[in-house]
Structure 1
Amino acid sequence: MNACTRDGRGGSPTAVVIDDAMLTDDDRHAIARRTGTSHTAFIDTSTAHTPTVRFFTSACELTNCGHGIMAAQAVLLHRSGATEHHGSLRTAGRTFATSAIRRRDGFEVWFDQGVIALADYADATAGGIIAALDLQRADIAAGVRVASPGTPRLLVPVRDHLTLLSMRPDFDRLATECRRLGYLGCFTYALWPTARTAAARMFAPAIGVDEDIANANSVGCLAAHLLDTSGNGEIEVHQGDTFRRPSSISASATRTGSGIVTRVGGVVGLSPPIVLG
């Protein structure tokens, strides 16, 4: 599946496998490597009302993957032959309410991300991650924040779109710094060309993904951060341009008694099946 396409093009290639109980985790890692996609979703459909999804990269298993949830839900709707579905998917971390609607250009999928935990970036040693990202302090547009929908990552605002596109991170150093501090990765972004749109790049070499074409969970985190700091919780984020794989993800954040919750969505395009010989 091509998760989070933009205007019918691009998106993040995401492999979806109807899981087999005979597969081992080593098998799943091998399949993730062979498909050549950054993430692979394995769906256990034996529990029909709430299918369980596991996410693998070539290097590790993830407890959660936003665009993987979207790709998996699109596959389930495609297999059902229905025009829309409203239900839920279970992951290792929690159960997500989902909705999917068949469209001419693919499947529009949304999921409720839940509460986003936000904290100011307070690394006492400072600088290591910023330097690994190929940034100077003057390149940072505002405060860096930690955001977590279950796994923490850094939200790093850069001063302009050109700075964002010109970044050439040191991935080995960034992986070391993220592992040391316990972060999944760094979501760098520039609000551009309006306060309700942004361009972004997600770097997560610590989990085997140097740069993501689309990262839905981080877009939800950004929506929560913006609601918390500016009162605007609506955002559309473009990614993937450095790969010539344009992607688009939308998110909305709402303040509740439990904290800030988000809803994340985009369009998933259908690709031909992969035959693994």
Structure 2
Amino acid sequence: MDVVKCRVFKLDAFTNQAFKGNPAAVVLDCPELDAEIMLAIAGELNLSETAFVWPEKKGFRVRFFTPGDEIPLCGHATVATFYLLWRLGMAKEGMNKMISKVGELDILIKDKKVWLKQLPPKIIGELNIEELKSILGVKELVGPALAMTTGTPEGIVGIRTFNELMNIKPNMETLAEFSKENGIIGVYVYTLDSKFDAAGRFFAPAVGVPEDPVTGTASGILAGYLRLTDKLTKDSYIFEQGHALKREGKAYVKFEGNYPWVGGEARIILEGQLEF
């Protein structure tokens, strides 16, 4: 069998500082690979997300893998991917197109930020808040606890203070089971006790990610949740995340009608070659 060689990069997304924000791997120049091999590569690179990219006539086709599964859409890996493509001269300043498992999505590159146009936030179910209290190891949560999607199904619930948010210690095994039972990839817990609009933590052990530093899809969901529940109705938001992992970053959300654009900065950390 011929040796396959691909370029691989590591970037930190939702930050302009090295070793902060959310790390992602981006794999370029690979032939079409089957899902089993891409999953093995994601496991080998061992980051929360690895994006595989193929240029096409109308844009870039991207598939996203955690170390445990393929997911339809990932915000921070999208920011990392298109920041890299822009820096390499492959994507252009302005509007670009991403072909993903959730369909064709618009990507805007402007002022060193990458913006992903997500689908309108949609409530797909209600979650048992008492069960979540037990799983997260907390006495109180702020409801409603909802399952929502802007392309990737996730749970969302509130907590009163930033200190309480930092002290959450989930039972990861039980949370993975809960997520699978409710058709979500994980649970995002937010608080309005923040120097920005909100702070959050995202736990996704069901797809091999105990805690994600800064989550783009969850940021779009949070903005939609705050609007739909009339907790904080705005056209643009800034959310902070990553403190518990010492990987602080910021996600920006702007609404165009019902469509959230989720944006952030990125930083290239590593470049290498993958051979197998």
Same fold (TM over 0.5): yes
TM-superposed CA distance for 1:221, in Å, is: 0.9
* Alignment CA distance shift 1:270-1:131 (3 Å): same
C-alpha separation in 2, matches of 1:187 and 1:171: 13
Out of 90, 96, 101, which is 1:87 matched to?
96
Q: Where does structure 1 differ by over 3 angstroms across 4 or more consecutive aligned residues?
A: 6-9, 274-277
Residue 19 to residue 187, structure 1, CA distance change in 2 (3 Å): farther
Residue aligned with 2:271, SS: coil
| Aligned residues between the structures | 263
Q: 1:1-277 counterparts in 2 under 5 A?
A: 1-5=11-15, 10-45=20-55, 47-80=56-89, 84-101=93-110, 107-118=112-123, 121=126, 123=128, 127-136=130-139, 139-193=140-194, 197-228=197-228, 229=230, 230-254=232-256, 256=257, 260-276=258-274
- Tell me by how many angstroms 1:9 deviates: 5.9
Q: 244-253 or 3-12: which moved more?
A: 3-12
Q: Provide Cα deviations, 1:214-255, integer angstroms capped at 9, x if missing partner.
A: 11111111111222214224221111111111111011235x
Are the aligned partners of 1:224 and 1:233 in contact in 2 as well (CA < 8 Å)?
A: no
Q: Is the 8 A contact 2:127 2:155 kept in 1?
A: no
8 Å CA contact retained: 1:220, 1:253: no
- Which segment is superposed worse, 90-99 or 5-14? 5-14
TM-score when scaled to structure 2?
Answer: 0.88
Quickly say closer, same or farther: Cα 1:24–1:202, change in 2 above 3 A: same
Amino acid at match of 1:239: Q
Instruction: List runs of 5+ in structure 1 lacking aligned partners.
Output: none
1:173-204: CA deviations, max 9, x gaps? 0001111111111110111235x521110001
Distance 1:197 1:70 in 2: 21
- Using a 3 Å threshold, how does the CA distance of structure 1 residues 272 and 172 change in structure 2: closer, same or farther? same
Provide closer, same or farther for how the CA distance between residues 191 and 94 of structure 1 changes in structure 2, counting only shifts above 3 A.
Answer: same
C-alpha distance in 2 between matches for 1:59 and 1:127: 28
Give CA-to-partner distance per residue, 1:1-32, whole Å, 9 cap, x none: 11101667611110000152253322211211
Q: Deviations over 1:54-105 (max 9, x none)?
A: 001111111111111111111211111777242111101111111114x6xx
**Amino acid of the structure 2 residue aligned with 1:97:** D
In 2, Cα distance between equivalents of 1:180 and 1:23: 30
CA-based RMSD: 2.1
Deviations 1:133-171, CA, capped at 9 Å, x for gaps: 1122xx213422222113321111101000000011000
Cα distance in 1, alignment partners of residues 102 and 91 from structure 2: 28
Distance 2:16 2:158 in 1: 22
Instruction: Say if 1:83 and 1:21 are closer, same or farther in 2 by CA, change over 3 A.
Output: closer
TM-score by length of 1: 0.87
Q: Which sections of structure 2, spanning at least 5 residues, go unmatched?
A: 1-10
1:6, 1:248 within 8 Å by CA — same for their partners in 2? no
Identity %: 26
Bigger share in strand: 2
Would the aligned equivalents of 2:151 and 2:217 in 1 still touch at CA under 8 Å?
no
Q: 1:82 to 1:131 in 2, by over 3 A?
A: closer
Looking at structure 1, the residues matched to 105 and 207 of structure 2 have their Cα atoms a distance apart, in angstroms, of 22
Secondary structure class of the residue paired with 1:274: strand
